[in-house]
Amino acid sequence: MFSGFKQFIMRGNVVDLAVGVVIGGAFGAVVASLTKDLLTPLIGALVGKPDFSAIKAGPLLVGNFLNAVVAFLLVAFAIYFFVVVPMNVITARMHKGEAPPAPTTKPCKECLSEIPIAARRCSHCAQPVVQ
């Protein structure tokens, strides 16, 4: 039962999805701060204070935006160094003794396109391929 769970967790797309959700959440805070603290007050100052809830007529709230950017960078740093790097190391250790797969394509000498190994003629330039 635990080996199946281990295989599920070690699949790359599960970790990538988790990282994407966390980074997306942190980036959402940056975008929310950009719109709420910088863009909305600028629009309110230019248009004459339309009906935006809780807009202050004072200066822009640049500090809140910078806090959101710093928080995003810290979350991205933590996710990269505490999730992505260890997963890459574990995956590299799991595939350490495996031989790379045999190539299935080769370059055409005329047009440099990738063609199947067994091809006798290039599908791109129609030149005969020497075996």
Residues 92, 101: contact at Cβ < 8 Å? no
**Res 53: pLDDT:** 45
Q: What is the pLDDT of residues 19-59, one digit of tens each?
A: 888 888 888 888 777 777 776 677 667 766 544 444 444 66
**Res 38: pLDDT:** 74
Residue 26 is encoded by which pair of tokens?
């942190």
Percent with pLDDT over 70 in the chain: 77
DSSP string, 7-70: HHHHSHHHHHHHHHHHHHHHHHHHHHHIIIIIIHHHHHHHHT--S-TT--SSS--HHHHHHHHH
Residues 125, 108: contact at Cβ < 8 Å? yes
Residue 40 is encoded by which pair of tokens?
């909305």
**Res 51: pLDDT:** 43
pTM, to two decimals:
0.47
In the predicted structure, residue 115 carries a pLDDT above the cut 70: yes
In the predicted structure, residue 99 carries a pLDDT above the cut 70: yes
Q: Where are the domains of the chain?
A: 2-94, 101-131
